[in-house]
Chains A and B, each alone.
Chain A
Amino acid sequence: MSTLVRGIGRLGGLVRGSIYGLGAFTRLFATILARSGIALKRPGLVSQQIHFIGNYSLLIIAVSGLFVGFVLGLQGYYTLNRYGSEEALGLLVALSLTRELGPVVTALLFAGRAGTSLTAEIGLMKAGEQLAAMEVMAVDPIRRVLTPRFWGGVIAMPVLAAVFSMVGIIGGWVVGVLLIGIDSGAFWSQMQSGVDVFNDVLNGVLKSVIFGIAVTLIALYEGWNAKPTPEGVSRATTRTVVSGSLAVLGLDFLLTALMFSN
Chain B
Amino acid sequence: MTSDATSASNPLLLFKDVTLGYGGFTVLADIDIEVRRGQVVALMGGSGSGKTTLLRAATGQILPLRGTITAFGQDIAAASAGQLQALRQRMGVLFQQGALFTDLNVFENVAFPLREHTQVSESQIVERVLDKLDAVGLRAAAHLGISEISGGMARRVALARAIVLEPELILYDEPFAGLDPISLGITAQLIRNLTDRLDCASVLITHDVAESFAIADTVYMVGQGKLLASGRPDDLTQSSDPYVRQFLNGEPDGPIAFNYPETPAFAQWLQQHGGRS
Interface residues of A (CB under 8 A from B): 121, 124-125, 128-130, 132-133, 135-140, 144
Contact = CB atoms under 8 A, between A and B. Distances in A.
A137 B113 contact: yes
Interface string B87-130: 01101010101011111000000001100110000000000000
> Contact size class for B?
10 to 19
A125 B102 CA distance: 8
B95 A133 contact: yes
Contact of A136 (B86, B91, B97): B91
A128 B109 CA distance: 14
A219 B59 CA distance: 29
A2 B99 CA distance: 48
A138 B99 contact: no
B271 interface: no
A132 B99 contact: yes
Contacts of B91: 136
Interface of B: 59, 61, 85-86, 88-89, 91, 93, 95, 97, 99-103, 112-113, 116-117
Given A130-B102, A132-B61, A144-B116, A137 B97 contact: no
B254 to A, nearest CB: 33
B61 A137 contact: no
Given A133-B95, A137-B113, A137-B116, A128 B102 contact: yes
Contact of B97 (A121, A125, A129, A140): A129
B112 A137 contact: yes
Nearest to A129: B99
A138 B93 contact: no
Nearest to A42: B115
B149 to A, nearest CB: 15
Contacts of A132: 61, 95, 99
A128 B99 CA distance: 6
B101 A130 contact: yes
Given A132-B95, A138-B86, 16 more contacts: A121-B103, A124-B102, A125-B101, A129-B95, A129-B99, A130-B102, A132-B99, A133-B95, A136-B91, A136-B93, A137-B112, A138-B116, A139-B113, A139-B116, A139-B117, A140-B85
Nearest to B113: A137
B59 to A, nearest CB: 5
Nearest to A144: B116
A52 to B, nearest CB: 9
B88 A137 contact: yes
Given A136-B61, A136-B88, A130 B99 contact: yes
